[in-house]
Amino acid sequence: MRNAITILLLLFLTTTAVALGPPAIEWEKTFGTEFYDIWETQEGNIIVGAHDSLFLTDSDGDIIWSTTSTEIGWHYFKFQVVLPLSSGGFLATGVGKVEENSSFSIPIARFTEEGNLIWLKSYGYTEFTEYAYDAVELPDGGYAFAARKGGTAWILRTDSEGDTLWTREWAYASWATALGILYHDNGLLVFAQGNTPSTSGGPHLLRYDLDGNLLWANNFPDWPGTVTPGAQAMCEASDGGLLLMDNYWPVIMHTDYEGNTDWWFGVQGGNQPYGYSLDTTMDGGIIFGGEQMGGPPKSICGIIGRYDSTGNQLWHDWVYNSDCAVIYSVRQLSHGGYIAAGKTDTQGILIKYAPETGIEESEASSLIEIDLSPNPFSSALSVGFDLPEAMEVSVSVFDLNGRVVDEVASDFFPAGGSVLEWNAPEELGSGCYLIRLESASEFVTRNCILLR
C-alpha cells in the first residue's frame, strides 16, 4: 500500500508539472561542432549528424565513436540527414565537397553500427549546387531523397547500394526545393517549395509513383500564417494523414494524404520564430523544434514545443541553456523523454529531457531481475523475472501518462526464474509502455515498445 500511495502521489505531482512547464533536463553537453539530425538507435544510443562529423553517443551523451569528412575521403561533408536503417547501421546525406575546389554536391554514405563506411556515392553537377534535405528507406531496400539542384526541387531514387534508379526535377520558375519525403501506398509524397504555371509560390505536396512519374502536384493557396509561407518539414501523423510545417512564424497543418486540410495551429516562440524540426510522439502528439529571435533574456535562443494530437499546447521551452541559439532536431526517446540537437553561438549542443511523468525506467533494488523480449514487439511480450525467494508478485503495465492499461499477473511465484506473457490488448496503439513488477518490499520497472 505504501508503494502504491507513493506512485499515485508521484503521478499527481508530475502530471501537474507537465501542465505548468517542460520536463526536467537530465543533462546537456556542448561539442566543438553544430548538430543537425538526431535519432535514438535500437540499442538506446544516440546517432547525431553534425557539421563535418557523424557521432554515436551512449544514453548519457558520451561519445562511442565519431567519423569526419576527411576520414571517409571527402574534403567536407555536412551530415544534415541521418537515417537509422531497418537492417542495422545508418545512412547519411546532406551537402559536401569531394575536394576543396570541387562544386557542392550531395554525398550519400552508408555506415555500419560501429561507424565503418560501407559505401559513399556523390550526386551532383559542376554548374549547380545540390543539397539533400530528407531521405526515406523503401521496402525494397533502396532509398529516396528530397533535395535541391540549382533552382529546382530534385527527387532521387537509388537502389540499396546507392546507385541511381532515377532522378526528377520539379518547378517551373523561381526558387524550388524538395524538403520532405515519405513512402506511402506504394509511392512517394514530397513536400516542396516552389510554383508551377498554375500555382503561386509556396508549399506544394507532390505525389510520385515508384517509377518516378509525377501523378499530381497540389498547392496550399490558403495556407494560414502572418507571412508568405515556405515549406520546411513533413512527417506522417500518428492518426493517419500528414503533418506539414513552414519555416518563418511556423504553422503546423494536419492534412490527409492528398493535402486537404483538417486543422492547423501556429506555434509559439516569441518574436520571429523559425521552425526546423517536426516529429510525432508515442502518444500521438507532436514535438517541434526551432529558434526565436528578439525575446528576453537573450536575443536568439532555441525553442521546443510539445502538442497533443489535435494541436493543443502541452508545454513550451525557450532553450537558453548553455547559450543555446537554435534547435535543429528534437525527438522522443523510448523511455519517454526527449533528445534535442542544435547549436550555441559557437558550438554544438545536445540536451536530454526526462520523461513527462515520474514513471520512468528505474530499479529500487537489484534483488529482482527482469527481462523483456522481444523488445520492440508487435503483439506478445515475454516478461521473464528471477526472484531471490518465493513471494507474492504483481505485474502491471502503465502508459506514459501513468495510467494502468493492463494487469499481467498477481500471484505467488517460486524462487528462481519465471516467465509470463503479455498479450497487448488490441485497443493499445504503438508506443512506449512500462512493465512494473512489484513485491511487498520492492519494485522494478522496465520500458517496452509496442509496434503495431
The pLDDT value recorded for residue 173 is 63
Distance of CA 83 to the CA centre of its chain: 10
Residue 452 has pLDDT above 80, yes or no: no
The pLDDT value recorded for residue 1 is 32
Which whole number is the average pLDDT over 274-290?
92
Closest CA to 6 of 439, 359, 335, 432: 359
The C-alpha atoms of residue 204 and residue 192 are separated, in whole angstroms, by 5
The pLDDT value recorded for residue 299 is 76
Which whole number is the average pLDDT over 275-303?
86
The pLDDT value recorded for residue 17 is 32
Residue 311 has pLDDT above 80, yes or no: yes
The per-residue b/e assignment along 206-230, b for 16 or more CB within 10 angstroms, e otherwise, is: bbbebeeeeeebebbeebeeeeebb
Q: What is the mean pLDDT of the chain?
A: 86
- The residues pairing with 272 across neighbouring beta strands, listed in sequence order, are none
Q: What are φ and ψ of residue 184, in 5° steps?
A: -155, 130
Residue 87 has pLDDT above 60, yes or no: yes
The pLDDT value recorded for residue 359 is 43
> What is the SS3 assignment for the chain?
CHHHHHHHHHHHHHHHHHHHCCCCEEEEEEECCCEEEEEECCCCCEEEEEECEEEEECCCCCEEEEEECHHHCCCEEEEEEEEECCCCCEEEEEEEECCCCCCCEEEEEEECCCCCEEEEEEECCCCCCEEEEEEEECCCCCEEEEEEECCEEEEEEECCCCCEEEEEEECCEEEEEEEEEEEECCEEEEEEEEEECCEEEEEEEEEEECCCCEEEEEECCCCCCCCCCCEEEEEECCCCCEEEEECECCEEEEECCCCCEEEEEECCCCCCCEEEEEEECCCCCEEEEEEEECCCCCCEEEEEEEECCCCCEEEEEEECHHHEEEEEEEEECCCCCEEEEEEECCCEEEEEECCCCCCCCEECCCCCEEEEECCCECCEEEEEEEECCCEEEEEEEECCCCCEEEEEEEEEECCEEEEEEEECCCCCCCEEEEEEEECCCCEEEEEEEECC
The pLDDT value recorded for residue 279 is 95
The pLDDT value recorded for residue 229 is 77
Q: CA distances (Å), 78 to each of 29, 110, 169, 327, 394, in order?
A: 20, 15, 23, 17, 51
Residue type, position 307, single letter: Y
The pLDDT value recorded for residue 351 is 96
pLDDT tens digit string along 406-443? 999 999 999 889 999 999 998 887 777 888 888 877 77
Residue 367 has pLDDT above 70, yes or no: no
The pLDDT value recorded for residue 365 is 43
If one compares 8 and 103, the residue with the highest pLDDT of the two is 103
* pTM of the predicted protein model: 0.77
The C-alpha atoms of residue 231 and residue 249 are separated, in whole angstroms, by 12
Binned at pLDDT 50, 70 and 90, residue 270 comes out as: low
Closest CA to 283 of 427, 407, 401: 401
- The residues pairing with 135 across neighbouring beta strands, listed in sequence order, are 145
Kindly state the cell numbers that stand for 158: 537509388
Residue 8 has pLDDT above 60, yes or no: no
Kindly state the cell numbers that stand for 281: 510522439
Binned at pLDDT 50, 70 and 90, residue 158 comes out as: very high
Closest CA to 144 of 125, 177, 168, 113: 168
pLDDT tens digit string along 63-77? 999 999 999 999 999
Percent of the chain with pLDDT over 70: 89
The C-alpha atoms of residue 350 and residue 49 are separated, in whole angstroms, by 12
Residue 234 has pLDDT above 80, yes or no: yes
Percent of the chain with pLDDT over 90: 55
Distance of CA 102 to the CA centre of its chain: 32
Binned at pLDDT 50, 70 and 90, residue 401 comes out as: low
Residue 20 has pLDDT above 50, yes or no: no
The C-alpha atoms of residue 443 and residue 110 are separated, in whole angstroms, by 42
pLDDT tens digit string along 374-394? 988 888 999 999 888 889 988
Which whole number is the average pLDDT over 326-352?
93
Which domains does the chain show, CATH number per domain?
21-353 (2.120.10.30), 361-450 (2.60.40.1930)
